[in-house]
Amino acid sequence: ETGVTQTPRHLVMGMTNKKSLKCEQHLGHNAMYWYKQSAKKPLELMFVYNFKEQTENNSVPSRFSPECPNSSHLFLHLHTLQPEDSALYLCASSQGTGPDQPQHFGDGTRLSIL
Amino acid sequence: AQSVTQLGSHVSVSEGALVLLRCNYSSSVPPYLFWYAQYPNQGLQLLLKYTSAATLVKGINGFEAEFKKSETSFHLTKPSAHMSDAAEYFCAVGGSGSSASKIIFGSGTRLSIRP
């Protein structure tokens, strides 16, 4: 496989469920990102990891819990979500975290909260 | 602080016509600029990147963009639109200072192609 792979592609869950989103990159990159994309809103950066260490948390509610066990894998653990959390969640990776580093995106997980 | 503004949330062109998507940036330092496309049910795909090596940047799928410092613009063009170009397009600028690890995205322009 090549690029950035996200699973599952679609997820429907109730507000009391616990689920996890998975992201894997096959590009040899060192940095990984989670974004939230909602309809009619700009792309929102949630978390940044560089060499497995979290370097950014953009005031994301604690019901979203990221995990980065190594530079190739990134998870987003979800619990007690709200209806407004329904969105497309995108994972991205880049070689480094400098401003000249383009990010490579997965196809996202479409999350629907019942 | 870095920012980008995309002019026009929706652009519609006929197949074979010129595509022009507008982006203006604001940056306190020489900017790194990007254009991404998001095709239906997919993530963002990098089309091209400006890193000050040349003002005219050629990207994938026939797209190109010209960096104009005097106009603080980085507009995306394609000479002849194809139906497969229908997508959402995002202009982006690399962050600076404490935001250097971020790419700041514009709000997007949806491109529709008329047969």
Q: For position B38, what pLDDT does the model report?
A: 97
Check pLDDT > 80 for residue A1.
Answer: no
Dist CA B38 CA B21 (whole Å): 14
CB contact under 8 A, B100 and A97: yes
Note whether A90 contacts B: Cβ–Cβ < 8 A: yes
B20/A contact by beta carbon, under 8 A: no
Distance CA A113, CA A88 (A): 12
One-letter amino acid of A8: P
| Cβ–Cβ gap A90/B41 under 8 Å | no
Nearest residue in chain B measured CA to CA from A103: B46
pLDDT, one tens digit per residue, over A33-72 is: 999 999 888 899 999 999 999 998 989 999 999 999 999 9
Mean pLDDT of A19-29: 97
**Closest residue of chain A to B41, computed from CA coordinates:** A107
pLDDT at A41 (0 to 100): 86
A70-109 pLDDT tens trace: 999 999 999 999 999 999 999 999 999 888 899 999 999 9
Chain A neighbors of B103, CB-CB under 8 A: 99, 103
- Reading the block at residue A91, the tokens are 């994972």
Of B41, B51, B103, the CB nearest to A103: B103
